């Protein structure tokens, strides 16, 4: 494990906010179980509180702690596309997922990224981390370190440099409705 990765883990464990590479784009995040950090993240990004934010996990077992029970077809979707660029919207476990993360709603967007450093962050912090794009709300998605807004960088506690794999945002599918509905096409096309 690199010293940069150790530093990022330490910052997250202490309630900080970091910018980090994922398989799809650069993300900005904090622990899901730190409400002060979550509030600060929304303030930094200028994200409306009514907008939910995606959460990154290390395993399906970990996802199961934060969502309501789901069927076999959703599990098969997860097993086929995770780790990878598919965000799945599911009914949240309201006792574990803060309202701000859900945008005040009942659902949560979950994903297991296909990026070794991001996986290490989540495992070593021992908590899911928020994973929206590292940008101000409404600005272009950053796919490299050079794409990052310098003002945004100045507002976070640490930046973990690295590379993204696909340079395409994740596909988002809402599995809280029947039939499922694709909300955004991105890195995964064969749904």
pLDDT digits (tens, 9 = 90+) for 51-95: 999 999 999 999 999 999 999 999 999 999 999 999 999 999 999
pLDDT computed for residue 97 by the predictor: 98
Q: Residues near 181 by Cβ (< 8 Å), separated by ≥ 6? A: 173, 174
Q: How far from chain centre, in Å, is Cα 132?
A: 5
pLDDT at 26 over 90: yes
Q: Are strands 18-21 and 158-159 parallel, antiparallel or unpaired?
A: parallel
Q: Provide the mean pLDDT of the chain.
A: 97
Q: How many CA atoms lie within 13 A of 172 on its CB side?
A: 14
Tell me the per-residue pLDDT of 86-132, one tens digit each, with 9 for 90 and over. 999 999 999 999 999 999 999 999 999 999 999 999 999 999 999 99
pLDDT at 12 over 90: yes
pLDDT computed for residue 1 by the predictor: 78
pLDDT computed for residue 191 by the predictor: 83
What is the DSSP code string of 162-186? ---SS-SPPEEEE-SSSS-EEEE--
pLDDT computed for residue 107 by the predictor: 99
| Span 3-184 CATH architecture | Alpha-Beta Complex (3.90)
Return the number of other C-beta atoms located less than 10 Å from residue 31's C-beta: 21
pLDDT at 50 over 90: yes
| pLDDT > 70: percent of the chain | 100
pLDDT computed for residue 109 by the predictor: 99
Domain positions in the chain: 3-184
| pLDDT > 90: percent of the chain | 97
């Amino acid at each position: 494990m690199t010293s940069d990765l150790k530093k990022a883990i330490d910052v997250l464990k202490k309630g900080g906010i970091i910018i980090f590479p994922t398989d799809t784009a650069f993300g900005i995040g904090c622990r899901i179980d730190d409400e002060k950090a979550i509030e600060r993240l929304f303030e930094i990004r200028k994200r409306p509180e009514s907008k939910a934010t995606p959460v990154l996990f290390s395993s399906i077992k970990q996802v199961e702690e934060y969502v309501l029970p789901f069927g076999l077809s959703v599990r098969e979707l997860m097993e086929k596309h995770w780790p990878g660029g598919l965000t799945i919207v599911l009914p949240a476990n309201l006792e574990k997922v803060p309202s701000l993360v859900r945008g005040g709603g009942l659902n949560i967007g979950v994903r297991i990224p296909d990026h070794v450093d991001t996986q290490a962050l989540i495992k070593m912090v021992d908590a899911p981390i928020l994973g929206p794009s590292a940008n101000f709300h409404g600005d272009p998605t950053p796919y490299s370190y050079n794409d990052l807004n310098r003002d945004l960088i100045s507002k976070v506690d640490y930046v973990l440099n690295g590379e993204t794999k696909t340079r395409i945002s994740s596909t988002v599918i809402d599995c809280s409705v029947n039939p499922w509905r694709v909300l955004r096409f991105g890195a995964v096309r064969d749904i």
